[in-house]
Structure 1
Amino acid sequence: DAAAFTAVGAAYKLPKESEAEQAARGEAITAALLQAARVPAAVVAEADEIVSLATELLPIGNPNVVTDIGAAADCARSAAASSQLNIAINVASLDAGAGAEFAPVLKQIEEVIARADALHDDVVAAITR
């Protein structure tokens, strides 16, 4: 993420005096912003996997660690929600066509958050019985 963000800053610092420089700078900015959005998109895939695993573990896991399962899902939810913000800020500077590749990831984030929230509620219910 840090390297991708550094590339965005470097692209914005490219010269822009001539039309050729402006075109090259624009292409560099677009490429850097796309890469900067791809990094948190990869985090979303990992968060999705963690929530899936936590959901599988809850009914079969040791009752003494049920809160650890919930905490893992909550951390994954946070990672997905944070990734949503990072993707949004990078895509906001792109034209609609360039940012379109992230539409499925943004939908996936909503699903991960909803599943993590449901699992959180299930964990609370399990420990308050």
Structure 2
Amino acid sequence: MRARPIVLFLAGLLIGTVLAGIVLGLTGSFGVTAGFAGVWLLVLGVVVRAQPAEPPVGPTVSYGPGEFLVVLRGYDIGQVRALLARIEAARTSTDPALRASVAAEARAAAFTVVMRGWDRGAVDAHLRAAAASLSS
């Protein structure tokens, strides 16, 4: 769970005040130290407020009914798109042999795992559902 920005701001304010007090007690130069502490607190407040409330999800690619998240290590997007195009062609076909062969291909699909590919679990689930719809 992410801390709320106001909590982070107040924590930074408290820590900055304590540190400024320690430095003031050691140096005695009030003006310079208070100025530096004020600048750092201002920077901390701006940085905390600039952060989004929720972490970004990541890029997604929409292909028909499935949306696949691009992950660090996932299926090769080109290979998956090629199979999805064959599945879409088979869905619109009235040839039962074509539908059966593409359904079998979807069940037995093996893709290369690459950096920044489509989420393997989501693609596998989509292919299982597509194979079931082609078989019925």
Write 1 or 2 for the structure with the bigger share of helix. Answer: 1
Q: Of the two, which has the highest radius of gyration?
A: 2
TM-score (norm 1): 0.37
Write 1 or 2 for the structure with the bigger share of strand. Answer: 2
